[in-house]
Chain A
């Protein structure tokens, strides 16, 4: 299977409950360094819950319960201080949520929270983040204008730049293109391919074709169960499980 030193995140027997509802059941999975790992499955199959357990955002939900472990570089995430963990494992949400601040301040938010005060350094970080998210050329002349004024696609790339600015190790994308037009979608996908050289990327999507286009490996989730995980090309050409086949050929979901 996977060589241990190449494993970035290791999920072991993870079960997630919200009150009485089970979101994820006895889930195990390894995610490798510098791959784009895509997770597909119909709505409510536990994809987002899984992501939010990896950086412990679920901890904010009072009815959240979990058992099992998540390891990052071999270290239990519950033993790491949540703030440091979230700095290492960033997330981009389905809807772009710009803070009601200027473009500059949105991207500088993370670094500032981590103690960077130096103006010149912040400017460098902001510029680098925006360049890496392919947004720099469009906004470089209006960094002080409200981020809320950007278009939907620009806002989503702003959110990518914002997470890049805190210099994470893993970036999780939770259906990042669900609200975007095809051109913006293509740009985000292009960004993902470039980013994987430096980061480990987890992409949750309900767009099967997107998984086929950008994923190195793909997992299929159904009702909180891991049905199948494989190299993307294998999963899409010769799925082992009938349900996977049904889903990717569009019989349900």
Chain B
């Protein structure tokens, strides 16, 4: 009987731990939704900030984040997918491929603010791009590279070996085999990774601090060499750097950012779930 009681207590404790992890997620969502909802209307999403950011919308921050994320994806997806193809289809088990794997693990672990320093050093100063959308996108792109590589790798590895063997046995070349018998079936997984990368890039602040983000700009960026405002940095600015910002603007901005990131992640989770269910092999 004592053993049973012990088990009951232990399971309750573990359950409580799980609650402690999950409930705050809901709490965050609820608090931000309730307080931020009143701020959001069409004007908030489509207008420029006015009166020292204490009124008006957050359009330039939203647009800037979209630019940055798009640029990061443009850079990271081709590179990441090719890199995953190298790891799964071409690399042999040797020192070099182990080094590549180690490098990916470490890229994933580099603190985001260090990416910011790196972006400042190489893109802004050394290559002379200045603080610009180009510098910020490239910095974010390198930061999400491990996400894309890891997801693409898993997707490629999940394609059965038999597809490759059959393709080779019909006289297809290695690239033809990858292009026609492997990649099409790995596509949903790669797409999932891409969306996760999008979400990560959209929410990061530290990498764009010194490479692109502007405190406030009276006009929208005109080229990739312009600075831009961005949602996460904007939230940081209006919640810590500028006094007197109305509460609902702060919560509203947080809600827009949170929704953008969570919807992207939710899309990735659903896509992956459906893909796993649908798989026939």
Contact = CB atoms under 8 A, between A and B. Distances in A.
In the complex, A touching B, CB below 8 Å?
yes
Interface of A: 55, 57, 60, 62, 83-84, 86-87, 90-91, 93, 95, 97, 99-100, 109-110, 112-114, 148, 162-163, 166
B contacts with A: majority SS: helix
Interface in B217-246: none
A148 B171 CA distance: 22
A99 B162 CA distance: 9
A contacts with B: majority SS: helix
Contact of A97 (B165, B173, B185): B165
Contact of B170 (A62, A84, A113): A113
Given A100-B185, A148-B280, A83 B166 contact: no
B163 A99 contact: yes
Contacts of B274: none
Contact of A99 (B93, B168, B176, B181): B181
5 contacts: A93-B162, A93-B165, A99-B166, A99-B167, A109-B167
A124 B176 CA distance: 23
Contacts of A162: 170
A90 B165 contact: no
B172 A57 contact: no
Contacts of B165: 57, 60, 93, 97
Interface in B138-176: 162-173, 176
Contacts of A84: 171
Nearest to A114: B171
A110 B280 contact: no
B170 A97 contact: no
B126 interface: no
Contact of B168 (A86, A100, A166): A86
Contacts of B281: 100
A109 B280 CA distance: 20
A110 B168 CA distance: 9
A113 B162 contact: no
A55 to B, nearest CB: 7
Contacts of B173: 83, 113
Contacts of B163: 97, 99-100
B92 interface: yes
B98 interface: no
Contacts of B176: 113
Which of B162, B164, B172, B185 has the most C-beta atoms of chain A within 10 angstroms of its own C-beta? B172
A57 B173 CA distance: 12
Interface of B: 92-93, 162-173, 176, 180-181, 185, 280-281
A90 B181 CA distance: 18
B169 A57 contact: yes
Contacts of A57: 165, 168-169
A113 B166 contact: no
Contacts of A60: 164-165, 168
A109 B169 CA distance: 11
Given A97-B163, A99-B181, A100-B280, A113 B168 contact: no
A83 B169 contact: no
Given A97-B163, A99-B163, A113-B176, A55 B280 contact: no
A116 to B, nearest CB: 12
Contacts of A91: 169
B169 A86 contact: yes
Contacts of A90: 169-170
Contacts of B164: 60
Nearest to A55: B169
Contact of B172 (A62, A100, A110, A163): A110
B166 A97 contact: yes
Which of B163, B168, B185 has the most C-beta atoms of chain A within 10 angstroms of its own C-beta? B168
A113 B169 CA distance: 12
A251 to B, nearest CB: 35
Given A86-B171, A163-B170, 15 more contacts: A60-B165, A83-B171, A84-B171, A86-B169, A90-B169, A95-B162, A97-B162, A100-B185, A109-B167, A109-B170, A113-B171, A113-B172, A113-B173, A113-B176, A114-B171
Which of A83, A87, A93 has the most C-beta atoms of chain B within 10 angstroms of its own C-beta? A83
A91 B180 CA distance: 19
